[in-house]
Amino acid sequence: MSQDQQPCVVGVSPWLPWPLGGWPWWTEPVPGQRLAMLRIGLGLCMLLDICLGIAPFTLDYFGKGELGDPAVFAWRFSTPRSYWSLLRGFDEDVMIYLSLATFFLTTLWLFGNSLARLLLIRHNPPVQDRSGVALALWVGSLTWYVCGLWARMFKAGQPDDLAWIVPLIGAGLCLVLLALEVLLNGRDATERVPWLALGLAFFFLVALTVFGRRFVLMKDYDQTAWWMPFFRSWQENDALLMTAMGLWIASIALMLLGCCTRLAVVLTWMLSVSFDSINSYLGNAGDTIRIILLLYLMLSPCGAAWSVDAWWKKRPGPVFVHPWPIRLLFVQMILIYFMNGLYKACGTAWLDGSSLHFVLGDVALARFSQAWLPLAPIVIRLLTWSVLAWELTFPVLVLWNWPRRFALFFGVMFHLGIWATMELGPFAPYALCMYLPLLPWERLRRRSSRAA
């Protein structure tokens, strides 16, 4: 293999304790196409689901005075629950605390990194691990917190000096961070000072301070001002709600194409959680699977192959990624089927074989009338028992090669069967997405290379 064709492993290699660290299943990199296909499959399913099933009814499902009126789901956002949504507004309690927690953690991360390197510069310092993402998160969380303070101030109609003091403290911390970086550069010239990133952050926080001061001096807050809806729940304003929906669709499209992949997947995840949280009565297990898949994609280099980002970077050799997202997903898959089997084994209808008769006969769930496809009782019983047996034995079947292929094939047929006979929305497509990283998509690349 030439130097150009050397395999390249993309992404952070996680530190894993024993026994995971010594287990090749958890540590041996896998072709990047596996994660890429999960990203593409999920993106396609989401585009169809959101564009056809949710976006046309955005105001009906999430708008004020409609099915998802903020008052209907207010219970989800009050203590002791920790649900959150960007669309509930800046001043929602849980969002205030989440932004504060993110701010403190990223402050520790940024200062910890700089200080550790500064103090240990001549004594085996830790590896450079400063991340641009941390600074963006730091500024983003502080901005959210400040907007929350402003929203509360506008709602109460009382000026609050914290509105400009907090961003001023942020700007001060930014200067301290810059000073640490300059010191570090003074002691070791190879250390680069991130002038642009820190400079932008500083001027942004100064701008927030100026705005905050101006808001405090205003004293009288015109509730009809054009910018006021921005500081209330976005559900109360149709234009803002539709903007958020548009942003969600755009982020899914970017994720599908693999363009600015990390940012696109993070945005898709945040908006998915936000929309699902403000009307939790619309979703089912399929939507939960979607959120779980997005969580893993968000933290992994899913744009390493078959993406605009990969095309831009022009990596010459085969691309590999660390296998942890696929392994966690596989464990999740095992638990989904096994737990389903366990709960079913406690019921009488699954044991006596009549369960699928009632499932298919449920006129609220069925895709078509059971009268069109009357199955003999023995067929119903065999189908019911086979589903129960497959779910209960799934964790064992996947241990060996051939039984694993059978179990996965049965699973695909099971979900296709559900999709054909039941109207459970996007449950079957999202569940089938879990199977995508298990297929050897990299062979397509090899085949096309050979053909070329």
Number of residues near another protein (by CB under 8 A): 86
Neighbours of 74 (CB within 10 A): 11
What token pair was written down for 171?
Answer: 């700007």
Residue number with CB closer to another protein (90 or 419): 419
Residue number with CB closer to another protein (101 or 207): 101
Angle at 42 between CA 37 and CA 45, to 5 degrees: 125
**From the CB of 190, what's the least distance to another protein, in Å?**
17
Binders in 51-70 for another protein, by CB under 8 A: 52-54, 57, 60-61, 65-69
Rounded Cα gap, residues 321 and 306, in angstroms: 13
Only segment of 36-44, 153-161, 225-233, 284-292 that touches another protein (CB under 8 A): 284-292
Binders in 246-275 for another protein, by CB under 8 A: 273
Omega cis (within 30) before 19: yes
Residue from 179, 170, 163 nearest 231 by CA: 163
Rounded Cα gap, residues 202 and 139, in angstroms: 9
Residue from 393, 429, 321, 432 nearest 29 by CA: 321
Distances (CA, A) of 449 to 2, 4, 313, 439, 445: 15, 15, 19, 19, 6
Binders in 208-237 for another protein, by CB under 8 A: none
> Which of 22, 316, 347, 440 forms a contact with another protein (CB under 8 A)?
347
Distances (CA, A) of 399 to 336, 395, 407, 413: 16, 7, 10, 20
**Site pattern 74..93 for another protein (x: CB under 8 A):** x------xxxx---------
Please report whether residue 121 would count as binding another protein according to CB under 8 A.
Answer: no
Rounded Cα gap, residues 256 and 244, in angstroms: 18
Omega cis (within 30) before 374: no
Binders in 370-389 for another protein, by CB under 8 A: 370-371, 374, 377, 380
Only segment of 170-178, 207-215, 308-316, 339-347 that touches another protein (CB under 8 A): 339-347
Residue number with CB closer to another protein (75 or 227): 75
**From the CB of 367, what's the least distance to another protein, in Å?**
5
Please report whether residue 288 would count as binding another protein according to CB under 8 A.
Answer: yes
Please report whether residue 276 would count as binding another protein according to CB under 8 A.
Answer: yes
> Which of 120, 175, 363, 379 forms a contact with another protein (CB under 8 A)?
363
Q: 354 exposed, middle or buried (CB, 10 Å; 0-12, 13-18, 19+)?
A: middle
Residue number with CB closer to another protein (34 or 327): 327
Please report whether residue 138 would count as binding another protein according to CB under 8 A.
Answer: no
Please report whether residue 362 would count as binding another protein according to CB under 8 A.
Answer: yes
Residue number with CB closer to another protein (179 or 339): 339
**From the CB of 80, what's the least distance to another protein, in Å?**
9
**From the CB of 421, what's the least distance to another protein, in Å?**
11
Please report whether residue 355 would count as binding another protein according to CB under 8 A.
Answer: yes
> Which of 197, 263, 328, 382 forms a contact with another protein (CB under 8 A)?
328
**From the CB of 69, what's the least distance to another protein, in Å?**
5
Please report whether residue 238 would count as binding another protein according to CB under 8 A.
Answer: no
Contact residues for 419 (Cβ-Cβ < 8 A; gap 6+)? 427, 428, 429
Q: What are the b/e assignments for 264-275, b being 16+ CB within 10 Å?
A: bbbbbbbbbbbb
**From the CB of 297, what's the least distance to another protein, in Å?**
13
> Cβ(318)–Cβ(7) under 8 Å?
yes
Binders in 305-324 for another protein, by CB under 8 A: 324
Token match 């979703």: residue?
Answer: 283
